[in-house]
Amino acid sequence: MQTHERTGQEVDASVGLRLDICPQLEGGNPREEMDNLSTLVVAGRHRHGLGDQDGLRKAVDLLDGAFSESFLNEKNLGHVPTVQMLLEKSDRAIVLPLYLYEHGGRTIRTTPFSCPWDSGQVGFVFVSKADAKREYGWTRLSASRVQRVISVIEGEVSIYDQYLRNDVWGYTAYRGDELVDACAGFYGCKPAENGMLDALPEEFHPLVHRGEFTYLLA
């Protein structure tokens, strides 16, 4: 990530505008503050403070009626790998694995990490097929529609990963010495990609497109 020094080059002198971008030290948890389509289920020692608090319950509830009660009674429904296997077998959800790398910090994604010592699968993420159909008004799930849902899942996991890595940002926009606007809660540091343009007053958009803004990292 490029860090700009505070110089006159970062100021749009023609209109006297300045845009500062800074890290948000305590970014909001997107699993609690955003409307997610997916549900994260995390196992074992990683469960505390990671994933969705009610994720396992939602996954188990989805199994109701997919198998006989006697069959489910024989299974350990508190064991996350078992629940993942049953959910995939039920064909009621689109399911992806969750992998965590933990070494000084934490990062999470749906594909394995190369390090075999500090990483591994810690759970899974899913969207029920009924929820996917309801969300998009579909009556059936084609292969392309399933892929669309997978892309949504990966995007929501990516945002959660940015939160875990403290990659959450805000901006302050000035006209001369006057504070025009300020907003925070953007995941990822690139203002052209993280949604800042949707909140930022339009007169500041050229600064973003030209890269004429300042990262305040201290």
Statement to judge: residues 153 and 175 lie in one domain: no
Whether 35 is covered by a domain: the verdict is yes
Statement to judge: residues 56 and 96 lie in one domain: yes
Q: What is the pTM of this model?
A: 0.83
Number of domains in the chain: 2
Statement to judge: residues 111 and 139 lie in one domain: yes
Which pLDDT score is estimated for 28?
82
Statement to judge: residues 160 and 175 lie in one domain: no
Region 68-79: what's the mean pLDDT?
A: 95
**Tokens 């996350």 found at:** 80
Percentage above 90 pLDDT, the chain: 76
Which pLDDT score is estimated for 13?
46
Q: How confident is the model at residue 181 (pLDDT cuts 50, 70, 90)?
A: very high
Distances, alpha carbon 69 to alpha carbons 56, 66, 142, in Å? 18, 9, 30
Q: How confident is the model at residue 176 (pLDDT cuts 50, 70, 90)?
A: very high
**163: nearest Cα among 33, 46, 22, 55:** 33
Tell me the pLDDT of the chain averaged across its residues: 89
How far apart (Å, rounded) are the C-alpha atoms in residues 94 and 86?
A: 12
Region 77-95: what's the mean pLDDT?
A: 97
Whether 3 is covered by a domain: the verdict is no
Residues 93-142 pLDDT 10s: 999 999 999 877 889 999 999 887 888 999 999 999 999 999 999 999 99
Which pLDDT score is estimated for 184?
92
Whether 209 is covered by a domain: the verdict is yes
Statement to judge: residues 134 and 44 lie in one domain: yes
Q: Of 128, 146, 164, which closes a domain?
A: 164
Statement to judge: residues 52 and 13 lie in one domain: no
Beta bridge partners of 99: 109, 121
Statement to judge: residues 87 and 186 lie in one domain: no
Starting from the edge strand earliest in sequence, which strands make up the sheet with 93-102, in order? 39-42, 119-128, 93-102, 106-109
Q: Domain of 193?
A: 8-27+167-215
Q: Which DSSP string do the residues of 178-197 spell out, in sequence order?
A: EEEEEEEEEESS-TTTSSHH
